[in-house]
């Protein structure tokens, strides 16, 4: 007769095997999604953004376009409430407003770089860069998915609790930033032009 402790060990081993198998399957789905994202070389989408802040009675709204040019250029053009253009690559941010322009080095903005990387790396299918800044939780599959990013850097984690990206196929549809103080930024992206590489 098998003792209760042996049965418990067998059950535990079985559960661990199932969890391990699920993790491998999830990792495979995430890698498949990132490969799909990496196939898009150029993309332009329209976005609407809402910022809910504890210090403000009403949310702040903005809208415009986002353009991604592989492998590392992101252009955010704000159309409302005022026109501002941000050209971001792996080294710097160029801010253009009217006739004025200024350039900021990302190395001088340690809290900004992870935000830039979260979006750029996702669009580029660059899993290594995502893992450099975040612990990653993935659910769904490459057809309909959600990724939650938890900052690994303590200084960033003091400000940001998590980032959530969700979408379908190679399109990000929703990008949410939850700050540690309860503030929330919600960006909705609408399908646009995408050019897939060879």
pLDDT at 168: 92
Q: Which helix (H) or strand (E) holds 191?
A: strand 184-196
pLDDT at 8: 54
Helices (H), the chain: 4-38, 113-124, 127-133, 154-157
Paired with 81 in beta bridges are none
Its pTM stands at 0.79
Is residue 10's pLDDT more than 70?
Answer: no
CATH number of 4-196: 2.50.20.10
Q: What would the two tokens of residue 32 be?
A: 């498949």
Q: What would the two tokens of residue 196 be?
A: 């897939």
Strands 145-151 and 134-140: antiparallel
Mean per-residue pLDDT for 107-120? 82
Paired with 185 in beta bridges are 51, 177
Task: Give the DSSP letter of residue 108.
Answer: G
């Amino acid at each position: 007769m098998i003792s209760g402790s042996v049965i418990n060990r067998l059950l535990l081993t079985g559960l661990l095997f199932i969890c391990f198998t699920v993790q491998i399957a999830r990792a495979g789905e995430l890698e498949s999604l990132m490969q799909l994202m990496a196939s898009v070389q150029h993309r332009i989408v329209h976005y609407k953004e809402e910022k809910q802040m504890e210090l403000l009675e009403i949310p702040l709204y903005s809208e415009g376009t986002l353009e991604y040019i592989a492998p590392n250029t992101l252009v955010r053009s704000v159309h409302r409430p005022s026109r501002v253009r941000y050209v971001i690559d792996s080294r710097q941010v160029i801010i253009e407003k009217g006739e004025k322009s200024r350039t900021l080095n990302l190395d001088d903005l340690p809290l900004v770089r992870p935000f830039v990387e979260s979006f750029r790396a996702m669009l580029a299918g660059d899993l290594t860069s995502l893992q450099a800044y975040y612990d990653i939780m993935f659910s769904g599959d490459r057809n309909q998915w959600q990724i939650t990013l938890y900052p690994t850097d303590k200084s960033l984690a003091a400000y940001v609790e998590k980032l959530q990206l969700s979408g379908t196929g190679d399109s990000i549809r929703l990008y949410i930033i939850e700050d540690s103080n309860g503030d929330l930024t919600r960006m909705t992206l609408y399908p646009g032009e995408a050019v897939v590489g060879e």
